[in-house]
Amino acid sequence: MASGTLYTYPENFRAYKVLIAAQYSGAHIKIADDFVFGETNKSEAFLKKFPLGKVPAFETCDGKCITESNAIAYYVANDQLRGKTDIERAEIIQWFGFADSEILPASCAWVFPLLGIMPYNKQNVEHAKDDVKKALTALNSHLLTRTYLVGERLTLADISVAMTLLHLYQYILEPNLRKPYQNVNRWFQTVIYQPESMAVIGCFKLAEKTLEYDPKKFAETQGKSSKKEKKEKESKKESKEAKEAKESKKEAVEELDPTDIALAAEPKTTNPFDALPKGSFDLDDFKRFYSNEDEAKSIPYFWQKFDPEHYSIWLGEYKYNNELTKVFMSCNLISGMYQRLDKMRKGAFASACLFGTDNDSSISGIWVWRGQELAFTLCPDWQVDYESYSWTKLDPTKEETKELVQQYFSWTGADKEGRKFNQGKIFK
Ligand SMILES: N[C@@H](CCC(=O)N[C@@H](CS)C(=O)NCC(=O)O)C(=O)O
């Protein structure tokens, strides 16, 4: 069975292809948790392995490097997903091409201006709308008599095409716009609401209203270009001709490089924790201490520094433990939640543990965050997973709380049913 490390930024629809395929096959995928998009993938060490500096990128346990999301998904998949016959395998490759050539460019050209990632150009967007319509119409006819794109069961073709449609269904295809494509809608929902998909992308919501164009967004996005990039841009002495050329619409669309585009695709909201008083607990300092020292030192350090007026401690217990099967799938559930909560790291720390073994396990964790309220309610982006857990605020003065912190921070003990600690993951 395939295993290795996946490099990606959170919520990358291309990485989703890989992670969903792995959910089906049981491949063991570790997501590189120290990956910083725009930094790690530009580093010498990364470029040595992956010369284009693009993600997703995958390194197998024995050091082989693979790029291109479809190829990585293929590598981590199982025989069912890869197609059973030559004709099925050929059709799957056909749908990879369809997704990347017929859907993706049109989807980006329509969605990105609305997200403020590209300047809005009416002609380009109208052209993209036509292309999306053509692709969806073809897909709709194909799916009139079929449940899945290839053969009678779900394959990589479904995963790849559905993930490439994700942004369109998320931001654009409000009920009226998606109405003509009932077969595609039915198939898309079949794919994304499979437990294997939900373990990766959470509970996806179809667009209720098409995102509207907001000229301010693009200006804000441009402001997000790295300082270095800005300096380079400023110092570039452009000739008159070059300046004129830049004014052409085509070049305006190319003004942001791919790193900027992906960085800009990240939500541009301010961090909700910024609105809460900082208090005296330096969470980053504690995270550093916890990473570098063993628990015999870091847990007393936590209690020495913890500021109960401005921070709170919570026990989060997964509500659906009886549905948990394989241990690695449950661990992916925790990693997926952490990924989706990426922006919450700034004001939070957690240690989530899996207790038990395959088909008999539970997930729970101790969370610490700035503020006294349930932090997930502060931001809609943080609400994908939290309702799958019951949350109990703990009293930091109580001995039970001290014991729980001790247990979860040091990855020991057992759950309430006596299942022994198996694996832990830190959110920091
Ligand atoms: N065809 C590739 C595309 C990969 C790609 O373009 N990745 C983007 C982010 S989603 C990237 O890493 N861009 C960084 C760069 O170009 O510097 C795939 O499917 O994996």
Note the pLDDT of residue 420.
Answer: 95
Note the pLDDT of residue 239.
Answer: 46
Q: Which of 9, 14, 159 is the best mutation target for the ligand 1 pocket, counting ligand atoms within 8 Å of the beta carbon and taking the most?
A: 14
- Is the CB of 53 within 6 Å of ligand 1? yes
What is the distance of C-alpha 287 from the center of its chain?
22
Does the pLDDT at position 245 exceed 60? no
Does the pLDDT at position 231 exceed 60? no
Placement of tokens 């089906």 in the chain: 24
Laid out side by side, the sheet with 57-60 consists of 28-31, 3-7, 57-60, 65-67
Note the pLDDT of residue 236.
Answer: 45
Note the pLDDT of residue 268.
Answer: 43
Note the pLDDT of residue 316.
Answer: 97
Model confidence at 219, in pLDDT bands (50, 70, 90)?
Answer: confident
Does the pLDDT at position 266 exceed 90? no
Note the pLDDT of residue 181.
Answer: 97
pLDDT in tens, 187-201: 999 999 999 999 999
- Quick check: 371 and 313 in contact, CB under 8 A? no
Model confidence at 260, in pLDDT bands (50, 70, 90)?
Answer: low
Q: Which atom of ligand 1 is nearest to the CA of 55?
A: 12
Note the pLDDT of residue 85.
Answer: 97
pLDDT in tens, 44-73: 999 999 999 999 999 999 999 999 999 999
Q: Which atom of ligand 1 is nearest to the CA of 13?
A: 10
Higher pLDDT, 53 or 260: 53
Placement of tokens 């007026």 in the chain: 309
Does the pLDDT at position 235 exceed 60? no
Higher pLDDT, 358 or 56: 56
Calculate how far, in angstroms, residue 37's C-alpha sits from the geometric centre of ligand 1.
11
Higher pLDDT, 161 or 121: 161
Average pLDDT over residues 247-273: 55
Model confidence at 258, in pLDDT bands (50, 70, 90)?
Answer: low
pLDDT in tens, 374-424: 999 888 778 888 999 999 999 999 999 999 999 999 999 999 999 999 999
- Is the CB of 14 within 6 Å of ligand 1? yes
Note the pLDDT of residue 261.
Answer: 64
Calculate how far, in angstroms, residue 13's C-alpha sits from the geometric centre of ligand 1.
11
Calculate how far, in angstroms, residue 42's C-alpha sits from the geometric centre of ligand 1.
12
pLDDT in tens, 128-158: 999 999 999 999 999 999 999 999 999 999 9
Calculate how far, in angstroms, residue 317's C-alpha sits from the geometric centre of ligand 1.
36
Mapped onto helix, strand or coil, the DSSP state of residue 327 is helix
Higher pLDDT, 372 or 235: 372
Calculate how far, in angstroms, residue 14's C-alpha sits from the geometric centre of ligand 1.
8
- Is the CB of 183 within 6 Å of ligand 1? no
Q: Which of 6, 11, 55 is the best mutation target for the ligand 1 pocket, counting ligand atoms within 8 Å of the beta carbon and taking the most?
A: 55
Quote the mean pLDDT of the chain.
89
Does the pLDDT at position 173 exceed 60? yes
Does the pLDDT at position 114 exceed 70? yes
Average pLDDT over residues 73-93: 98
Calculate how far, in angstroms, residue 130's C-alpha sits from the geometric centre of ligand 1.
25
Model confidence at 249, in pLDDT bands (50, 70, 90)?
Answer: very low
Average pLDDT over residues 64-90: 98
Model confidence at 224, in pLDDT bands (50, 70, 90)?
Answer: low
